[in-house]
Amino acid sequence: MQEIVDRLTGTDRGAEIARTLIYPYLNHAATMFESGYATAADIDASMRFGCGYPVGPLALVDALGAATVVAGLEAQRATTGDPLHQPAPVLTRLSGSGSTFEAEAASADAPAAPELRHSIGSVGVVGTGTMASGIVEVFAKAGYDVTYVGRGETQLAGVEAAITKNLDRAIAKGRLDEDAKSDLLGRISGSTEREALAGVDIVVEAIAEDLDIKLQLFRDLDRITKPGAILATTTSSLSIDALAAETARPSDVIGMHFFNPAPVMKLVEVVSGAATSAEVAETTRALCLSVGKHPVSCTDRAGFIVNALLFPYLNDAVNLHVAGGGTLEEIDTALKETRLPMGPFELLDVVGNDVSLAIQQTLHATFGHDGWTPAPLLEQVVAEGRLGRKTKAGFHTY
């Protein structure tokens, strides 16, 4: 932690670049906490487990000192005039009192450990892509019987092949044996018919991020699944409430946003819609813990926690580059020197610049901050087909 603090408080050009991008990100996290959207613990865990950051944003504020962050933001606001650089009231308050987010959290009642309020013995997964395959593997590894549904036999076979490949890799590394592999594969079964999900206790859908397709699926799931079955969506951008409205059981609909690759990434954003029952939300959190994941709680709002904090920072990096604040390499290096796993342009290319643009457009449309207007250069690279690693060219070439 001290290494990161020392880097951010340095006097060289790299430290200046890092502060320019990280301080608004910290401010946004503080605003998210102050609004009551998520707890400090969940905000910090989201960025650690969802992005691989060495420290969460609010813990970093505590390490730097709120007064240091406030002074840095005020200096930026004086230069940019951007309201997003106005320090969040909670930062100003902590700066004046000398308190910390950690102290405030310690003064609150610790939340009770979540329990399974619904019995979960069998799981359904809809989809056969990378995310769906990973989710099937996660639940089967944890001992659940899993039924997965896809469009055709070829797609179903692809799921088993992908899981088998992962298990063989684990065997080669001495982390698994053949008996455990056989047991796991014996717990999964594929079907081309959604009616195969009639008896499961929870369905997790991981199909295309297309609202119309998902709406039709939820109508089918409402008809097919038994009363009391939880209907979960892995969406990262679509409305939980819109999906719930297609069912006669909106209290049983919830977001369960896994991160890719699902067998590896620990974070799951548990997203409650307006009608999601407290029992369903608690059961979903407990289920995440039972499969070795770290759940964080939030409500149905664009970007949830991770994307709402991550993509404005990435957008800021593009604008900083255009404004002459650093070359692509200088900016990437400056942020990696603060112990981030990737520089912003490297990360944009990994995520996909088209995906990044779509998320930023959604955030801008939802929150209306002028400072979150998608960067023109980001729009340009997408228009030119430079989508990142998947097209061998983005901000960098591959």
Predicted local distance difference test score (pLDDT) of residue 108: 76
Query: In the CATH scheme, what architecture does the domain 2-108+305-391 have?
Result: Orthogonal Bundle (1.10)
**pLDDT one-digit tens code per residue, 259-282:** 999 999 999 999 999 999 999 999
Q: What percent of the chain is modeled with pLDDT above 70? A: 100
Peptide bond into 57 cis (omega under 30): no
Res. 69: pLDDT tops 80: yes
**pLDDT one-digit tens code per residue, 184-226:** 999 999 999 999 999 999 999 999 999 999 999 999 999 999 9
Contacts of the segment 270-273: beta carbons below 8 A, 24+ positions apart? 270/295, 270/296, 270/297, 270/298, 271/240, 271/298, 271/299, 271/300, 271/304, 272/240, 272/297, 272/298, 272/299, 272/300, 273/239, 273/240, 273/241, 273/243, 273/244, 273/299, 273/300
Catalytic residues: 236, 257, 269, 307
**pLDDT one-digit tens code per residue, 159-177:** 999 999 999 999 999 999 9
Confidence of residue 107 (pLDDT cuts 50, 70, 90): confident
Q: What is the pTM of this model?
A: 0.95
Res. 111: pLDDT tops 90: no
Q: How far apart, in Å, are the Cα atoms of 180 and each of 136, 184, 189, 261?
A: 16, 6, 16, 21
Cα dihedral 379/384/390/396 (nearest 10): -80
**pLDDT one-digit tens code per residue, 246-263:** 999 999 999 999 999 999
Name the CATH superfamily, with its identifier, for domain 122-299: NAD(P)-binding Rossmann-like Domain (3.40.50.720)
> What are the residue ranges spanned by the domains of the chain?
2-108+305-391, 122-299
Print the SS3 string covering the chain. CHHHHHHHCCCCHHHHHHHHHHHHHHHHHHHHHHCCCCCHHHHHHHHHHHHCCCCCHHHHHHHHCHHHHHHHHHHHHHHHCCHHHCCCHHHHHHHHHCCCHHHHHHHCCCCCCCCCCCCCCEEEEECCCHHHHHHHHHHHHCCCEEEEECCCHHHHHHHHHHHHHHHHHHHHCCCCCHHHHHHHHHCEEEECCHHHHCCCCEEEECCCCCHHHHHHHHHHHHHHCCCCCEEEECCCCCCHHHHHCCCCCHHHEEEEEECCCCCCCCEEEEEECCCCCHHHHHHHHHHHHHCCCEEEEEECCCCCCHHHHHHHHHHHHHHHHHCCCCCHHHHHHHHHCCCCCCCHHHHHHHHCHHHHHHHHHHHHHHHCCHHHCCCHHHHHHHHCCCCEHHHCECCCEC
**pLDDT one-digit tens code per residue, 321-376:** 999 999 999 999 999 999 999 999 999 999 999 999 999 999 999 999 999 999 99
Instruction: Tell me the torsion sign for CA atoms 182, 286, 204, 198.
Output: positive
Confidence of residue 318 (pLDDT cuts 50, 70, 90): very high
List all residues 6 or more positions away from 24 whose beta carbon is below 8 Å from its beta carbon.
73, 76, 84, 85, 312, 313, 316
